[in-house]
Each structure stands twice: as C-alpha cells, then as structure tokens.
Chains A and B, each alone.
Chain A
C-alpha cells in the first residue's frame, strides 16, 4: 500500500479517535463555571495589582461571586464601577476606607545633608549600597524614584526636591511602593489619618538636626500635646496609634520644632515650607 495513504489514514484515524474522546470528556466531565465570573472580571479594572489581598482580578471575582468579599474591597475601581458590580451581583457594595501610601521622610534636597555625590546605576537600591548613596541620613529618602517606577497607577511623581509625592486620587494602596523602597519609608494609611510623622531617623537632639533640618529630634512635644495615648515615643520617633487614643487634632503638630510631624489632608509636601539648613554637621 502506498506509504502516503497509510500515514494519512493513521493520522485521520487518530484524529477521529481523540475527537471522540474529547467529545465524551466534554459531555461527562465538564465543570459548570458560574457565568457571572467572566462578566464580573470584565467589570474589574484588570490591573492585577493585588491591593485587595487576592492573587489578581480573576481570584478577586471568584471571591466576589462566592460572597466572601465585597465589591468595595477593590480599591482601584471607581465608585460607579463598584456600584455596577454590586447591582449586577445583587449584593451590598460595602464601604472601604480610602487608604493611601504615605512617606515617612521629608528630607529632600535642601533639607537633608548631602555629604557626597553618587555616580552610578540610578536606582535607590543600588545607591543605598554605595556609601549610603551620599546622603547624610541613613534612613531618609534617596530620591532616585524606585517607587515612581514601581507604581502601576502613575500615582507617584518626584517633586523638585526629589521626594515622591503620592497623588491621593490615583493611589490605590496596592503596596508596590512599600515593597520596593530599600529604606522602608512607605506605609499604607487611611486617608483620615492626618497626623503623619515625616521622619524615620532614630536620632535625638543635635544629632538628628545635624543630619536633616526636618528630622524628628525626639523632643516628645507632639506626644504631650496630643490626646492621651494617641502618640507615643518609640526609639526616638513618635508613633501615632489611632486605635489607642484620640481624637487627633492639629494641636499635636503646632509645637514641633522641625516640622517632622505634619497634618496632611491630601498630598504630602505640598503646603510645606522649605526650612533652611541649620545645625552643626557631623561630617
């Protein structure tokens, strides 16, 4: 018999055999998937940012359809989109407190001492390894924008002092900037937490002021002036604990000698005056 014909016949036979197998499998082994899943996933932003705590938008829509999570757990979607999903699924939209990334440093150019020039691979992580990036403060923002590059939502922009300003409207609190910062300066906080400690240097007194003009010098006045238990001092830095006391008010910031604790309602660093450098340098 002709080899070509034989080969063709075998291939065709195999095709028919596996075709029947698949048809049988489709008939008896198919898994019913909730048709709403695809629709809900379509309604979500599709950025897979992980801010909801799930592995991505598909995983989140599974939880939504199951009723384990509320539509408002998605911090990226607009209010209308959340309302649409809630209406579609016939569930309560829930309410989610708006949270944003806040930077615990205000020592930009002109505030923090720059003791040397860094020349090299321009990322914060790389600069951090070479003599601390030339910045006098070991804890402060290096200003090379690793967070800006990591942000999926274009919410972080460097200002003219080389500090990252988080656009409150754009920020979805996904936490990518928190992970990428080599100095651990970002924290995700509710927008209603207005008292922000803009310093991470565990130094006190002259040592702190020698490093940066807006450093916390651990005087403790904010802790005294705030409502009882709201602010406590921990390793020379104030820690604002909204669960322990309150209410928070601007009074806590008023006697701060360096402006290290600020009352922030929207973006950070916007209304802040540039404080000239004072204090004796350590170097």
Chain B
C-alpha cells in the first residue's frame, strides 16, 4: 500500500466554493462529431506550427496536418476524417484572428484513427523519446499548453530526480482530471511509469487533493507492485495546482523567484498529459482529443466530455444545452479561465473546461478604494504584495512593479477573489505585465 493520507499543503491560498458536485460523478462521454473543425496553428506556447496539408486535401483522423515550427513547437494532427476546407484567419479563444486549418468532417466516415503502431519506448534513447513526445503533439493539458517535450529536455547539469504528476485540479467546477484519474487510472499510471523510466527519475509522486478520494483509490490500485510511484494526498486549497505551490506543498521546497522546478531537479506534468502520453506510446494515438468539463449555472446538461481538439465551442454548448440566461462563457476554470468573445472558437489542446455563467452568478461588485486590510497578502501563494501591485499598476509605475517581482505572479486570481473592495487586482497586474512586455518590445 503506497497510499499516504497526510493532507499536506502550502502556506497562504484561498478556499473558493468548489461547485464540483455538478459533474464529479458523471462518467466521461463522447459527443457526436461536429461538421467542421478549426485548428489554430498556435495552440501551445512557443512557435506556431507550419501547415503540412493543402486546401482541398483529404485527411484521416490522426493524420499530421501541421509540422513543428521549431523546437518549442508541436506537431498538429487532424481530429477528424474529412477534407481541408480552408487555411486562413479564424477566431482564436483569445479573441484574435489567427492562422488556422479548417477541416470539414466527412459525415459518412467511420472515423478510424490513423494510428501508427505502438512505440517501443523502452528501447528509445532519451533524445528519440523527446522527438516522439513532440510528434505526439503533447502539451501540458492543465491549461497553459506548454509543450511537454520541452520539459523533458534537461539542461546540462540537471536531472529529473523527482517526477511530480499534478492531479490537484484546484479550480472550482472542473472535474475532467478527476474523471480521468478515476476512469483511466491504469493509463495515467502507465504514462507516469514511462516518463519516470525514460527520465531516470528516482521517484514519481501523483499529487491529489483530498476532495477526490475515489481518484486516489483508483490510482493506488493501478500502481503495480515494486514501482516507485506513490499517490500523495493534499488538503483542498487554491491554487495548489500551480506547480510551484504543489512543490512547496509536497516537498516543502521553494522554487526560487525566476527559476523553474527543473532547478530543483523536479519535472511536473498534468494527469491528462500522462493519459495522452500513454495513449501514444501504447496505441500510437496522438493528441487529437481531450476530456473537458462543461458546467456552470448556464448549462442544462453538465457533462465531462471527450471532445476532439478543434471542435467549435458552439457545438459543445449545443450538445450540453446552453440556456438563454447565459451572459458569459469562460474557457478554463472560473479563477484563471479566459472569457470568450465568441462561441465560434475551437476547443484547444489546453482547454480543461467550458463554463457558462448567468447574470446573477457573475460578480458585478462595485469597486471601492483599497482599505489596506491585507487579505490579498494572506492569499498570495507567492508571497507578493498584490495590493501594492494594483496601486503601482494604476499609476503606470512599471519599473517598480518589476522590482517588486511582478514576474513571479502566476495570475491565479486568489487576491482578486479575496478582495473585499472588489479591486480587479489580477486584471491590473496582467495589464501591467503586458505593458512591460510591450515596452520591452518597443525598446528593442
């Protein structure tokens, strides 16, 4: 028995209402294929990929349609058998028009996946393994969509001593990782085992919050005897899923400002990524679909859905019954998610949820002056001073913000959540970060 019930956590943080009861017991279902799919060439951090197909060309489900445009870039696969209808600007969930490949689904196709045979990962060298991970199109599926293979490229002098699998899912409403751990425990453990073996990790830890006991039991049962994988339980707190918080909670170590977990010889991955990784190495199936949670007060039939990447949000919403009172649709969790300007945007590899909110469920709190109560300081897991940041941001004092380590803010939103005066702290910080970036771009 490798299950440890200890309930570790980090200092500071907040406890938003969980709202997970809507979907946490609902098994993952598939939804019918949409008529058209839109694949932005840039749905990961890093360089966009280059289209590898022409307009009018027939593509099979799982076929490569985009080649990586550099090392920090991904291969893109068709999520559906059909025809390339267009390559041109389409709307991205961030609101901008970006180059996309649009694929028209073939309504009569059997939608068989063009899988390559299972990959014999054991005999691969580390560099070949990294190439395969890139070829599988794997990105961090927790939300940030950072290319997974880049994390495995260990710089000189670093090694992966500890592999950390993130199953916290601390965002309210979201239950997709929870369901993945319950229903695909074998595959998650298998993926963990593959990565741990290839990176030569001494131990692998799957961190799960205590509000998911069934996931912990399922994972624990799936861990084969004699492996160094263990499941660790964590107290429920937001933002425990932020990798620096998770490391602090589990290992009691702090990732220094401006450094990466790798500087402590730790590699962090999401459970969804492990599932997709196992799918690729065991069945040759690239990342063409993902599990996401559709929930919120504006949804009639909440669900955990296995959705092909590129499915328009409008189709997902139609499938789950978007009711008329919905005022806002958020992609991702309610704390860090991006409100959508249009429903005609695709589900991305990093989309963990689609939440619909009605007018009364959105906070319209009037903004008052900061009363210096210090609750945001108590909330910030990175021990920053959000109240001061907000004031500096309003005054446009970017340089002082940089000196106050604004770059270490992970934009988790705990400060805004806790602020009794309704100051949009994170929005101010994000605007400031954008201004700093813009200033640097213009200066260079």
Q: Across the interface, do B427 and A126 meet the contact criterion of CB distance under 8 Å?
A: yes
Closest beta carbon of chain B to A125's beta carbon, Å? 5
User: B342 contacts the other chain (Cβ, under 8 Å)?
Assistant: yes
In the complex, identify which listed stretch (B162-170, B226-234, B293-301, B429-437) lies at the interface while the others stay far away.
B429-437
- Set B97, B341, B424, B431: member contacting A203, Cβ < 8 A: B97
In the complex, identify which listed stretch (A57-65, A82-90, A127-135, A244-252) lies at the interface while the others stay far away.
A127-135
**How big is the A interface, by class?**
20 to 34
**Nearest A residue to B435 by beta-carbon distance?**
A125
Closest beta carbon of chain A to B88's beta carbon, Å? 7
Given A132-B341, A207-B88, A283-B91, A121:B431 Cβ within 8 A: yes
User: B56 contacts the other chain (Cβ, under 8 Å)?
Assistant: no
Q: Across the interface, do A131 and B94 meet the contact criterion of CB distance under 8 Å?
A: yes
User: How many residues of chain B get a CB closer than 8 Å to chain A's CBs?
Assistant: 25
B interface, over-half SS = mixed
Q: Across the interface, do B95 and A126 meet the contact criterion of CB distance under 8 Å?
A: no
* Residue of B90, B93, B95, B343 ringed by the most chain A CB atoms within 10 A: B95
Scan B59-101; emit 1 where CB is below 8 A from any A CB, else 0. Answer: 0000000000000000000000000000011110111110000
- Set A116, A179, A182: member contacting B341, Cβ < 8 A: A116
- Set B90, B341, B427: member contacting A115, Cβ < 8 A: B341
Given A115-B342, A282-B344, A129:B431 Cβ within 8 A: yes
A residues 101-130 with Cβ under 8 Å of B? 115-116, 120-121, 123, 125-126, 128-130
Determine the distance from Cα of A126 to Cα of B338 in the docked complex, in whole angstroms: 13
B residues 335-360 with Cβ under 8 Å of A? 338-344
CB-CB < 8 A to A77: which residues of B? none
Closest beta carbon of chain B to A239's beta carbon, Å? 20
User: A194 contacts the other chain (Cβ, under 8 Å)?
Assistant: no
Given A138-B97, A182-B438, A131:B428 Cβ within 8 A: no
- A residues sitting closer than 8 Å to B (CB atoms) are 115-116, 120-121, 123, 125-126, 128-134, 137-138, 179, 182, 203, 207, 211, 282-283
A sample of 5 cross-chain residue pairs with beta-carbon separation below 8 angstroms, ordered by A number, consists of A115-B341, A120-B427, A125-B434, A126-B430, A138-B96
Closest 5 CB pairs of A and B: A132-B95, A131-B341, A131-B95, A138-B96, A116-B341
List 9 extra interface pairs beyond A129-B431, A211-B97, CB under 8 A. A120-B424, A121-B424, A121-B427, A121-B428, A126-B428, A130-B338, A131-B342, A207-B89, A282-B90
